[in-house]
Amino acid sequence: MKKKILAALLSGTMILGMTGCGNSSNEESAPAAESTAAAAKTEEAASTAAAESTDEPITLRMAWWGSQTRHDITVQAIELYESEHPNVTIEYEFYSFDDYFTKLKTLVASDQVWDIFQLGGNFPQYMDKIYYLNDFIDSGVVDVSDISDSYLKITQDTDGNQIGLSNGLNTYGIAYDVDLFNEAGVPLPTEDWTWDDFKSAAEKIHEYTGDFGVSGFTSSEFIAGCSTYIGQQGSVGQYSFFNLDLTGMGFDDPQMLTPYIQMRADSIKNEVYPDAGASAEITNSTAVMMQTVEGNASAIGYMSMGSLGKNDKIKAVQINGVDATPANVSNGSYVVSRPFNIVTKSDGVSDAAQDFINYILSDEGQAIVEQEDFIKTDATGAYESNGTTGKTISVAGSSSVTPVMQVLAEKYEAVSGNKVEVNQSDSSTGVSSAIDGTCDIGIAVIVNSENTVTNLTLDQVGQIYKGELTEWSQVTAQ
């Protein structure tokens, strides 16, 4: 059987237009409503309710995932609340979708979940960590007078308990190329478009282009298709993919899914849809990138050298016959790299933040960068504190950079007296206004350790990611 190449893309500064949050696992996919839920401990919740009536200092921990827009709006809401409640400090963290749930599962296991945290349709997994909002609503601490009953029910269980408050709704949609539809003579989608129309359009575009008529079928897309298809059966509201308690399916006869699954299978067989081996998986998580390549002998991906570590399930390949090493990136012989940037606000940086930047660029900081298998830049000399102490510095950004940033933060705290909060998210979330380049991250092109390929040319890497090379036999034949 031919081994097709699964190209895994790690979104960041090398990929244009990759924004928002993505689902990479079945259990976190298909959120029908995203809600912010209060954490489990009653005494913590009670202390929160008392915030308005006491001057006692209160610190709350909060976390969420999402786009830059969601992050900015949430931070604005936090700052507004803190301005009206000076005794309350909210320590927040934000992550990419995949990293958020990795962190949440770790906190659940150690019983240290955030006080306020975001969940989607998978909330039943975390019910023992959620404190109902009933008492707060009944006492007036949480004012829901301007929220309709129907909207509140989105985040209620079948007993009427208010599990959380929804901060938005999510749905699925199909994006299409209007020009391509017109060129192929395919009627544009209408409000009464059916699955038969969808299939017919995909087949005609496949015939016209000689390529796939639909971009890709990932695990989350399969769930989206199945859940949407079931909801369209019977009368309005008669069926749903999951039942209201999310403890089982919302339909009894699995054969109801047969037409959709058969359509999908036929289209993959006829090369109207790509199969898993021909699809490019896109993730903004280094951890997911590693898992993808580890689990597929035909996969290829890329990640920072500093994140590669000692993993015997993946390996870095040579590019143009040159090993992926920090030294080869520095001397320019290994040509795959990208900038490691520090981003600050355009209206200036605080003295504490500047002191941390000074530490990163110092002899001590660059020694840590090199020690962690990143590529150092020219150091500015020995670190000298600017005298700032007792301050908190918030740092956010790419999962590729997080490992070295965490070590830098730990060492800096020990010599400065300041605290550094490192929040792992993604590159776009970490970007504000101004960019100050500091050093390079070597990008290791990785494959599964079972792959016999040990060297790729830069042209071959480009051909793989452009879909011009789709089988490893084509690579070895060159």
In angstroms, the first-to-last Cα distance of the chain is 20
pLDDT value at position 379? 81
Q: What contacts 204, CB < 8 A, 6 or more positions away?
A: 184, 185, 186, 213
Per-residue pLDDT of the chain (478 residues; tens, 9 = 90+): 344 444 444 332 221 212 223 333 333 333 333 444 433 333 344 444 444 456 789 999 999 888 778 888 899 999 999 999 999 999 998 887 777 888 888 888 888 889 998 887 677 778 878 889 999 999 998 999 999 988 888 888 878 889 888 877 777 778 899 999 999 999 999 999 999 999 999 999 999 998 888 876 555 567 778 888 888 898 877 888 877 666 788 899 989 999 998 998 898 899 898 776 565 555 556 777 777 788 778 888 877 776 676 677 888 889 899 988 878 887 888 888 766 666 666 566 788 888 988 998 899 998 988 887 777 777 889 999 999 888 888 776 666 677 788 888 889 999 998 888 776 554 444 443 233 333 444 466 778 888 888 888 888 888 887 778 878 888 877 6
| Three-state SS sequence of 247-261 | CCECCCCHHHHHHHH
Entry pTM? 0.48
Whole-angstrom Cα distance, residue 355 to residue 236? 60
Whole-angstrom Cα distance, residue 397 to residue 427? 5
Residue 343: φ, ψ to 5°: -115, 130
- Report yes or no: 269 and 80 within 8 Å, Cβ to Cβ: no
Whole-angstrom Cα distance, residue 404 to residue 374? 8
pLDDT value at position 346? 59
Continuous segment of H or E residues that includes residue 198? helix 195-209
Q: What contacts 431, CB < 8 A, 6 or more positions away?
A: 68, 343
pLDDT value at position 46? 41
pLDDT value at position 190? 93
3-state SS, residue 217:
coil
Continuous segment of H or E residues that includes residue 222? helix 219-231
3-state SS, residue 409:
helix
Whole-angstrom Cα distance, residue 411 to residue 385? 13
Q: What contacts 59, CB < 8 A, 6 or more positions away?
A: 88, 89, 90, 91
- Report yes or no: 224 and 231 within 8 Å, Cβ to Cβ: no
Give Cα 61 to chain centroid, integer Å.
Answer: 20
Scan for tokens 């012989």, then name that residue: 333
pLDDT value at position 352? 87
Scan for tokens 């990611």, then name that residue: 465
